[in-house]
Structures are given as C-alpha cells and as structure tokens.
Amino acid sequence: MIYVVGALILWGLGWMLNARLANGPRANTRAVQIAVPVIFGATILLIWELIVRGLSVPLVILPPPSMIATTFANSLPILWADFVQTFVKGALSGFVIGGVAAFLLAIVVDRYDFLRRGLLPVGNFMAALPIVGTAPILVMWFGFDWQSKAAVVVVMVFFPILVNTVAGLRDTSDIQRDLMRTYGASYGQTLFKLRLPAAMPFIFNGLKIATTLALVGAIVAEFFGSPTRGMGFRISTSVGQLALDMVWAEIVVAALAGSFFYGAIALCEKGVTFWHPSQRS
Amino acid sequence: MKSLVSAFAPVVTVVIALMTIWYMAAVWLNADWAYDRAGRAGVTLSFSELVSDTWAQEKPKLPAPHQVVEEIWKTTVQKSITSKRSLIYHSWVTLSATLLGFGLGTALGIGLAIGIVYNRVMDMSVMPWAIVSQTIPIIAIAPMIIVVLYSIGVQGMLPKAIISAYLSFFPVVVGMVKGLRSPDAMQLDLLRTYSANKSQSFWKLRLPASVPYLFASLKIGVAASLVGAIVGELPTGAVRGLGARLLAGSYYGQTIQIWSALFAAAILAAGLVALIGLLERVTLRRMGERP
C-alpha cells in the first residue's frame, strides 16, 4: 500500500515540478524543453514500478521496468541477433530496394503524363490498403528467412515513396521551369538541377513515413513464419511462454530501432534540404 | 464527358496492364507444378493446356484474378452470412472491432489534443512523446495486449479494439493539435476584441478551424485501425475475422483463401477511407467551404 501512496505522491511532485518549469521564466530555453518530457517519462516509469510492486501485479500481466531492464541487459546477444535478423537484413534491405524502385518508377511516371494520371490514383489507393496482409503470400513465395521479410517491406514502403516523389517532382513553378528553358537546359539538367532538389522535402516525407512501415512490415511478416530468431519471432514465442519481460525488452529494441532510423533519415533531410523554410529557424 | 474519359482512360489502362501482368505471372509461377503433375501422369502439355491449367489450380502459388473473384463471390453471395465460411461474417468480425477501436481512439485523441492545446504543462510533457511514438512500430505490442487481456479474462472483440484504438490514437492527437493551433494570431486577437471567453473561442474558432486537419488524420487513423484489428487476430490463432482467414490460409496453403481475405480487407479499407472522405466533403460544405 505504501508503494501506491508513494506513486501518487510522486505523480504530484513530478507534475508540480513540470508545471513550475513550463510556466516559469525559462520555459522557452532548450534545456527546459528537453527536461520537461524527460521528467514526465521518468515519473511514468517510477510510478509503473511502484504500482506493480505495491499491488503485486502478476508478472504475466505487467513486469516492472527494473525487471525489463535486467532482462534487456542479460540477453543482449539474443536481442542483437534478433535486431540484425529483423532490422538489418529484413527492414533495411527492403527499405533500400523498395525506396530505389519507387524513386526510379516515380521519375518514369513523371516523364509520361499518361502514366502519371493512370498510376497515381492506383498508387494512392494502394497506399491506404492494409498491405501487411500480403505477408502470408510473400512468406509462402520467398521462404521463411529474411528475403520474405524484405519483400513485405518492399511492398509496404513502395507506394508512400512513389506517391510523395511524384508529388515532389511537380512542385516547381512555371516561372522556375521557364527560367531553365531560357537557359537552354535539357530534360536531364532540369531534372537534376531544379526538380529533384525541389522534390527533396517531399521525398524525405515519404521516406520518414516508410521508416515506421518498414519495421512494422518486417515484424508482422515474422508472425507468419520465420527462422528461430528475429524480433517478431521472439515476441510471438515469448508471449506464448508468458515471458513478458522478454517481450518488453524486444519492444524496447523495436522502439529504439524505430526512433534511430527515423532520426537518421531526419538528419539526412536536414543536410539535404537545408534551404527549405521548415529547416530554417 | 470528355474530361471524364480523359480522367478514366489512363487509370483503366493501368489497371488492365496490371491484370495482364498478373495473369502472365500466374502462368509463370504455377508452371512448375503443372509440369510436375503432367510429368508424373506421363503427358506433355501444349502451351494452351499449360495456360488453362495454371489458371485453374486448386492451390496455386499465385491464383489468377478470376479464381479470386469466384472465391469471393462464392463466400459472400452464395453463403448465408451466419456461416463460418462466409467472408461477410469474417469481415464483420474485423470491421466491428475496427470501428469500436477507431471510435475510442478518436475520442481519446481529440480529448488529449484539447488538453495539450489548453494546458502548457501537458503540451511540454506529453507532446514530444506523442511525436516519438509515431516512429515506433506500435504493432509489436499487439500480441502482448491480446495475451495479457486474455489472461485477465477479457477476450473477443475488445482486445482487438484496444489495438485499433491505440493505432488511430496518435495520428488523431498530432493532427488535432495542429488543427486547434491553426487559427493565426490575428483571428485570435479578433475574438479577444469581441471579449470572447475561452469556451467561446474554442467552439467558434478553434474547433471549426481544426475540422480539415481532423479529417486528414481520421483517414490515416481508420486505415491504421483496420491494420490493427487484422494484426490483432494473428497471435492468438483466432478463428474468426479476416486476420484469422489469412493465418489459416497460410497454414494450410489455401492461397485462394488468402487472396480473397486480402481483397476483402482492401475493399473494407477503401470503403472506410471513402466514407470518411464523403463525410469530410459534406461537413466542409455545410460549414460553408467554397470549392
């Protein structure tokens, strides 16, 4: 009981501290803007720990964060093998293949107006569909190993990148294109010097959407069959054994991988589209 | 009329091209099995026999489109909707969980967004996490939610609905916060000169201004909800729902069943997104939007 009371007091303290910081004179400094969400996150973790201990919640329902951290630290080799299998082999290779294919098709589609008007509605339609559903079919075609996971990821990331790249390639004004024409620029020169750079914010938007989809695709595809390693495999088997601490450790890995992947793409975006208004401040 | 033709002609061409590729791929992928069988029976296949065989196998690697359409027809129109083999029945199981979860997620998302816009502490503490959570493959926790809820006695539609709600929750929060903040300083100042109080400025300015943003995120949210409900059916080996059809099909190699479930899911998703698009147009027109 004392733990639960402690949790409530802690909640109040954390909230009060954040309220002071957020309404205080330094609220707009960078340090405070980082500190507030960190304090919030830490409070949640502590309360989670205290409530689970205080009410002695069974481990098969919710393990405390300390136990998840211990499991994480103790099973680093397993987690690393799963990470390599699912993220590096499945998600990353599929992301690259799907991204390059979508990009090349987008350039072709953009060149021929007939194709654009035909493929774009189909692409938009496909982008809204539950494409993860193709996972069982692709697992059947490409076998249980990472190739089938990469195939699912290719299909999942393809349409968002295609649609965004095509939209981006059209994002130049008539004046800009006319200027290139007065320079006597060829199609290729206009593409590389004007239209591709102008399309970059759109392309990166598509890539950012695709980062999450790639991980989702690789993990869900493993629910339909996989070798005896991989994040999706570990999650589904550990759930079966009620080893929830392992499941949570794997979720931490997925969260870290997802955030870093997204962060890496965002960093590239910052470097490439430094000229765009959204990157200047 | 002419503009209608010029709008549809390319789409129809592309769809026909895709169908042709599909039929040819069916011949190519299913040829091994056809040759194998013919070899064992001691007959040689002519090209036309090969084609007709590859388009009519019982467990093909890639079923031809007409086989899928036939299966969908058989399992929707020709089965009563209470039958365990009716695709409409399975679709309804998934759709009901999707809709419940989507409703829950949207309501909670709008609530949290209002809290974030009006409370600075909440904004600073919760909003970064809401944004980070978009980069996390949330679907990874689906199996755990199902099993944990099962172990405390909750099963059936609710666990799937919770996953759906969770997936549609964050897009709605992020979109709504953006929408509620979209009125610019001049508009807010105008309301201040009217001496409008907080609730008046909410109902008369912020909420109406957020509607276009809300619909944009609802479209993303409903598609995510459907994916959530389907994935929620995978880990427990559920026997009802589209996800269960996918899983059973992949266990028993019933490819036609997988494809028909996939098409049912696609039709559901397209229907839901179209429905929200329609609602969006009707609402915006009633709010006085001029095209």
Tally of CB atoms within 10 A around B227: 27
Q: Rounded distance, CA A109 to CA B263, Å? A: 26
DSSP secondary structure, A25-67, as one string: TTTTSHHHHHHHHHHHHHHHHHHHHHHHHHTT--TTT---HHH
Map tokens 């109040």 to a residue.
A12
User: Where are the alpha helices (H) located in chain B, listed in sequence order?
Assistant: 2-41, 47-54, 65-76, 87-118, 120-133, 142-151, 157-180, 185-193, 198-201, 207-232, 242-252, 255-286
pLDDT of residue B1 exceeding 60, the answer is no
pLDDT tens, A158-207? 988 998 898 888 888 889 889 999 999 998 899 998 999 889 988 998 89
pLDDT tens, B224-281? 889 888 888 876 656 788 888 888 887 787 888 888 888 888 888 889 988 998 999 9
Averaged confidence pLDDT in chain B = 83
From chain B, pick out residues whose CB is under 8 angstroms from the CB of A248.
144
pLDDT of residue A217 exceeding 80, the answer is yes
Measuring CA to CA, which residue among B190, B181, B186, B171 is closest to residue B209?
B181
Distance from CA of B155 to the nearest CA of A (A): 14
Q: Is A72 on the interface with B (CB under 8 A)?
A: no
Q: Is A242 on the interface with B (CB under 8 A)?
A: yes
Higher model confidence: residue B80 or residue B2? B80
At A144, the amino acid letter reads F
pLDDT of B239:
73
* Cβ proximity of A95 and A218 under 8 Å: no
Average pLDDT over residues B44-59: 77
* Long-range Cβ contact pairs of B108-113 (< 8 A, separation 24 or more): B108/B165, B108/B169, B109/B168, B109/B169, B109/B170, B109/B171, B109/B172, B109/B173, B109/B176, B109/B221, B110/B172, B110/B176, B110/B214, B112/B169, B112/B173, B113/B172, B113/B173, B113/B176, B113/B177, B113/B180
pLDDT confidence bin for B52, thresholds 50/70/90: confident
Average pLDDT over residues B215-229: 88
User: Where are the alpha helices (H) located in chain A, listed in sequence order?
Assistant: 2-23, 30-54, 65-74, 76-83, 93-111, 113-127, 135-142, 146-169, 174-182, 187-190, 196-222, 231-240, 244-272
Measuring CA to CA, which residue among B259, B255, B254, B221 is closest to residue B242?
B259
pLDDT of residue B222 exceeding 80, the answer is yes
* Cβ proximity of A226 and A233 under 8 Å: yes
pLDDT tens, A107-143? 998 888 888 888 888 887 777 778 888 888 888 888 8
Q: Phi and psi of A174, rounded to 5°?
A: -60, -40
At A15, the amino acid letter reads W
Q: Is A19 on the interface with B (CB under 8 A)?
A: yes
pLDDT tens, A43-62? 888 888 888 888 888 887 88
Average pLDDT over residues A274-278: 77
Contact yes or no for B137 and A219 at CB 8 A: yes
C-alpha distance from residue A270 to each of A110, A166, A183, A205, A257 (Å): 25, 21, 29, 12, 20
Contact yes or no for B136 and A129 at CB 8 A: no
Q: Is A251 on the interface with B (CB under 8 A)?
A: yes
Contact yes or no for A122 and B18 at CB 8 A: yes
pLDDT of B236:
63
DSSP code for A90: I
pLDDT of residue A28 exceeding 70, the answer is yes
Nearest CA in chain A to B267: A129
Q: Rounded distance, CA B120 to CA B111, Å? A: 15
Report angle CA A146, A72, A214 to the nearest 5 degrees.
30
Average pLDDT over residues B185-196: 90
Highest mean pLDDT among A93-97, A120-124, B35-39, B46-50: A93-97
C-alpha distance from residue B125 to each of A33, B13, B32, B177 (Å): 9, 51, 59, 14
Distance from CA of B66 to the nearest CA of A (A): 18
At B25, the amino acid letter reads A
Put residue A233 in one of left, alpha, beta given phi > 0 → left and psi -120 to 50 → alpha. Answer: alpha
Measuring CA to CA, which residue among A18, A67, A17, A16 is closest to residue A45?
A67
Cα of first residue to Cα of last residue in chain A, in angstroms, is 50
Contact yes or no for A128 and B132 at CB 8 A: no
Nearest CA in chain A to B265: A130
Contact yes or no for A236 and B235 at CB 8 A: yes
Give the global pTM: 0.84
Put residue B253 in one of left, alpha, beta given phi > 0 → left and psi -120 to 50 → alpha. Answer: left
Contact yes or no for B255 and A244 at CB 8 A: no
Average pLDDT over residues B135-159: 79
* Cβ proximity of B164 and B97 under 8 Å: yes
Residues 124-143 of A with CB under 8 A from B: 125, 128-130, 132-137, 139-141
B94 CB-contact burial (10 Å; exposed 0-12 / middle 13-18 / buried 19+): buried
Residue A178 CA to chain centroid, in angstroms?
38
pLDDT of residue B2 exceeding 80, the answer is no
CB contacts < 8 A (A, B): 166
pLDDT confidence bin for A280, thresholds 50/70/90: low
pLDDT of residue B115 exceeding 60, the answer is yes
Q: Rounded distance, CA A82 to CA A50, Å? A: 31
Nearest Cβ partner of B140 from A129, A240, A254? A254
Q: Rounded distance, CA B241 to CA B90, Å? A: 4
pLDDT of B50:
79
* Cβ proximity of A57 and A120 under 8 Å: no
Distance from CA of B140 to the nearest CA of A (A): 7
pLDDT of B238:
63
pLDDT tens, B60-77? 878 888 888 888 888 777
Tally of CB atoms within 10 A around B45: 18
Measuring CA to CA, which residue among B269, B14, B273, B275 is closest to residue A120?
B14
pLDDT of A238:
86
Contact yes or no for A262 and B135 at CB 8 A: yes
* Cβ proximity of B219 and B271 under 8 Å: no
Nearest Cβ partner of A132 from B121, B146, B231? B231
Q: Rounded distance, CA A148 to CA A136, Å? A: 9
